[in-house]
Amino acid sequence: MENVNSVLESGNRLDIIRAIKDLKQFLEETEVTETRSMCSNRLVAILHKPNGTSTDLRIYANENLAQSEEAVINSIVNVHLPRELDAGPDNTLVFCMVTLPESNKTILGGPDPLYEGRLVGMSVRGKNVSRLRERVNITMIFTSALNETHVPRCVFFDFSTKAYRSDGCLTLWEYGQINVTCSCDHLTYFGVLMVSASLQPIHQEILSYITLIGCSASLFALVITVLLFITNRKARADVSMKVHINLAIALILLNLHFLPSQMVAALSSGRLCIYIAVSIHYSLLATFSWIALEGFHLYLLLIKVFNIYIRRYLLKLSVVGWSIPAVIVSLVVIINKDAYGRVPLDITNPNSTKICYIRSDTVKMVTTVGVFTLVFIFNVIMLGVIVKRVVSLRQRKEFEVSDRDRAKRDIFTLLGVTTLLGITFGLVFFSFGYLTTPGLYFFCILNSLQGFFIFLWFVMSLRKTGNSTKAAKTSNVTRSTNS
């Protein structure tokens, strides 16, 4: 413990991680015949020897002492271990509190400081404790006032990835509270990060109403769009319209499952919440897939105009658009079935409104943010190519319409194509840092109404097709009269 203390004071990041990991293993392997408490400068530990009966266990610790069952004076950490651990006489339950120096609060990674530089580690000799039904509750007392611009977030340190994670941990805390409780379903080294508060409660409430109204309007408009497609024979014969309708169906599924997500998360039914979370994930990925396919289809229409024939073109698009998301979601369920569940809308405030969605940060980053980033880059390139093509066509041809009408038509066309390509989703990249609040407002307004914009695009396309048909008939009558 003295050697670890010296590493904490002067070691680099990798040395500190290695020292804490070695200490954890060493304490687990230490043989004791009775409960023993130890202290050495920045380390406080207790080796608890169970008496053979399976009961709840409480551990209390301050900066100089840790003991089980009995509270200590000026306790700063209280731990409640559930009976489900089932530790017997052959197991040793290890508790170790590590306090990093002031200068090393962020040395373990991440921009956010570790509160008081404190890590609380727990393990059971001979057991890998995870996925507990009864959670482990670690309560940390705040010994100094919190910055109003920061909120606590419970995390654990993953020694394999050498980074903080929050999978399986809930942060139980409210504004003004003098302590925070980390409720987790496994044992390891836990800590509390002080993260910047992203939004004030008033903004969260306004954004929730905007999202609810926008998604409801989009869902209604998208259903009307599908009905118009079904009842219009010419629209059913148009391949482009079929691609648009597949995107509309993906958005219908997304809105249909997202709207009741908050209500379902408030219920006690875990299985229903998991179903909603899986459905939202699948429909979101399907939306991204069809957005990418919209870009690919527009590229074929405008760039590869001649000599293009793809056998069973729409069937192949459908296989890509609907199957790839299904494969991704299936792999997530197989690899980590606990990746879905209740999560707070604001990750920096765990007590904010919860919805049913992806709980795993890794799954969320890879399968949603990662996939969308690739789709966004592809469609931005497609948009640039399309704009260049339209501009070149305008320069070659002379039109009877005025420059103002031509500019108006081009602007509306560009806005429609931008909606189909999902470019507005890219506003999420501007919802960080100083642009957090305005970026989130633009993101919520434009993307919650994306279904409504697609409805407008569809109606305008039908109207344009009707006008073209009328013009063709008029032209035929005129030629007949002249003859």
Who wins on pLDDT, 203 or 297? 297
CA gap 436, 55 in Å, rounded: 47
Question: Where is mean pLDDT largest: 14-18, 172-176, 195-199?
Answer: 14-18
| pLDDT value at 377 more than 90 | no
Q: How confident is the model at residue 481 (pLDDT cuts 50, 70, 90)?
A: very low
The 10s digit of each residue's pLDDT in 222-257 is 999 999 989 888 888 888 888 889 989 999 999 999
The 10s digit of each residue's pLDDT in 446-459 is 778 888 888 887 88
Per-residue pLDDT, averaged over 402-416, amounts to: 54
Q: How confident is the model at residue 191 (pLDDT cuts 50, 70, 90)?
A: very high
The 10s digit of each residue's pLDDT in 119-140 is 999 998 878 888 888 899 999 9
Q: What is the pLDDT of residue 60?
A: 92
CA gap 336, 130 in Å, rounded: 13
All structural domains of the chain, each given as residue ranges with its CATH number in brackets, are 2-196 (2.60.220.50), 201-466 (1.20.1070.10)
Q: How confident is the model at residue 151 (pLDDT cuts 50, 70, 90)?
A: confident
Q: What is the pLDDT of residue 436?
A: 62
Per-residue pLDDT, averaged over 95-108, amounts to: 83
Q: How confident is the model at residue 393 (pLDDT cuts 50, 70, 90)?
A: low
The region of weakest confidence among 201-205, 348-352, 439-443 is: 348-352
Q: What is the pLDDT of residue 250?
A: 92
| pLDDT value at 399 more than 70 | no
| pLDDT value at 220 more than 90 | yes
Percent with pLDDT over 90 in the chain: 19
Q: What is the pLDDT of residue 148?
A: 65
Per-residue pLDDT, averaged over 364-380, amounts to: 86
| pLDDT value at 307 more than 70 | no
Contact assessment for residue 47 and residue 30, using Cβ atoms and an 8 Å cutoff: yes
The region of weakest confidence among 19-28, 138-147, 393-402, 413-422 is: 393-402
SS (H, E, C) the chain: CHHHHHHHHHCCHHHHHHHHHHHHHHHHHCCCCCCEEEEECCEEEEEECCCCCCCCEEEEECCCCEEECCCCCCCCEEEEECHHHCCCCCCCEEEEEEECCHHHCCCCCCCCCEHHHEEEEEEECCECCCCCCCCEEEEEECCCCCCCCEEEEEEEEECCCCEEECCCEEEECCCCCCEEEEEECCCCEEEEEEEECCCCHHHHHHHHHHHHHHHHHHHHHHHHHHHHHHHCHHHHHCHHHHHHHHHHHHHHHHHHHHCCHHHHHCCCCHHHHHHHHHHHHHHHHHHHHHHHHHHHHHHHHHCCCCCCCCCCHHHHHHHHHHHHHHHHHHHHHHHCHHHEEEEECCCCCCCCCEEEEECCHHHHHHHHHHHHHHHHHHHHHHHHHHHHHHHHHHHHCCCCCCHHHHHHHHHHHHHHHHHHCCHHHHHHHHCCHHHHHHHHHHHHHHHHCHHHHHHHHHHHHHHHHHHHHHHHHHHHHHHHHHC
Contact assessment for residue 277 and residue 265, using Cβ atoms and an 8 Å cutoff: no
Q: What is the pLDDT of residue 97?
A: 93
Q: How confident is the model at residue 480 (pLDDT cuts 50, 70, 90)?
A: very low
Average pLDDT, the chain: 80
At a CB cut-off of 8 Å and minimum separation 6, what does 448 contact? Answer: 210, 211, 213, 214, 215, 217, 218
Q: What is the pLDDT of residue 423?
A: 67
Is the backbone of residue 233 left (phi > 0), alpha (psi -120 to 50) or beta? Answer: alpha
Is the backbone of residue 168 left (phi > 0), alpha (psi -120 to 50) or beta? Answer: left
At a CB cut-off of 8 Å and minimum separation 6, what does 313 contact? Answer: 239
Q: Name the phi and psi angles at 336, rounded to 5.
A: -145, 95
Q: What is the pLDDT of residue 447?
A: 78
